[in-house]
Amino acid sequence: MKSTPNPETLQEAIGFFSNPNVAFEFVARLRWPDGIACPHCGATEPSFLSSRRIWKCKGCQRQFSVKVGTIFEDSPIGLDKWLPCLWMLVNCKNGISSYEIARALGVTQKTAWFMAHRVRLAMQTGTFAKMSGDVEVDETFIGGKARFMHNSKRRAKISGTGGKDKAAVMGLLQRHSVKGHSIVKVKAVPNVKRANIGPEVRQSVAEGSQVLHRRPALIR
For the chain, domain boundaries: 10-31+69-125, 134-219
Judged by average pLDDT, the poorest of 21-25, 148-152, 202-206, 215-219 is 148-152
CA distance 204 to 197: 11
CA distance 149 to 154: 6
Query: Helices (H), strands (E): how many in the chain?
Result: 7, 7
Burial (CB < 10 A; 0-12, 13-18, 19+), residue 201, is buried
Residue, of 18 and 122, whose pLDDT is higher:
18
Q: Which of 137, 107, 154 is nearest to 212 (CA)?
A: 137
| Antiparallel, parallel or unpaired: β 167-178 and 54-56 | unpaired
> What H or E segment, with its residue span, contains residue 47?
strand 47-49
pLDDT-based confidence at 74, cuts 50/70/90? confident
Across 2-22, average pLDDT: 83
pLDDT-based confidence at 1, cuts 50/70/90? very low
pTM over 0.85: no
Residue 105 reports pLDDT greater than 70: yes
Residue, of 133 and 34, whose pLDDT is higher:
34
CA distance 1 to 9: 24
Judged by average pLDDT, the poorest of 24-33, 94-103, 107-116, 208-217 is 208-217
Judged by average pLDDT, the poorest of 85-99, 155-169, 201-215 is 155-169
Tell me, what's the pLDDT at 161?
A: 44
Across 21-49, average pLDDT: 90
